[in-house]
Amino acid sequence: MNETIEFRGGAGTIAADRWTSDDGLAGRGAVLMLHGGGQTRHSWNRAAATLSRDGWTVYTLDARGHGDSDWAPDGDYRVDGLVDDLRGVIDQLGEAPVLFGASLGGMTGLIAEGRTPD
C-alpha cells in the first residue's frame, strides 16, 4: 500500500510516497529511494512495492524541481541543496534509513552520508 506524503525541504515541499505492507508486516526499518536526474519518485514504484512486501517502510522522494516537489524559488539546484533536502528528510523520519540512489540520487546520498558526523 502506498500513500503520498510531504516533507519540508530547504527550498520548499518535498513530495514522497510512503510504501508499507498490505498485511501489516513491518519492523525491518526505513528505506529512502532517490531517483536520477530528469526522473521522479515513480521510477522506484516496482522496487518499493517489493521491499514493502518484505516488511520495509519505503519512501520514494521527488528531488527539488522534479515531479511534485517544489521548484527552488532562487533557481538553486546544486547538489548542496539536494543534500540539505535529504538531510532534512532524514531528520524528519527520526530514524537512520537505508539509502538507495540512482545517478543524481546516488551522488546525493553518498555526499549526504559523507557529511554525516560520526
Q: Which residues pair with 74 in a beta bridge?
A: none
User: Distance of CA 67 to CAs 32, 53, 78, Å?
Assistant: 16, 25, 17
Does the pLDDT of residue 8 top 70, yes or no? yes
Q: Which three cell numbers stand for residue 34?
A: 532517490
CATH superfamily of the domain spanning 2-114:
Alpha/Beta hydrolase fold, catalytic domain (3.40.50.1820)
Q: Please give the model's pTM, rounded to 2 decimal places.
A: 0.94
Task: Report pLDDT for 22.
Answer: 80
**Average pLDDT over all residues of the chain:** 94
Does the pLDDT of residue 118 top 80, yes or no? no
Phi, psi of 20 (to 5 degrees): -135, 165
Task: Report pLDDT for 87.
Answer: 96
Task: Report pLDDT for 116.
Answer: 80
Task: Report pLDDT for 1.
Answer: 85
- In one-letter notation, the amino acid at residue 8 is R
Task: Report pLDDT for 112.
Answer: 96
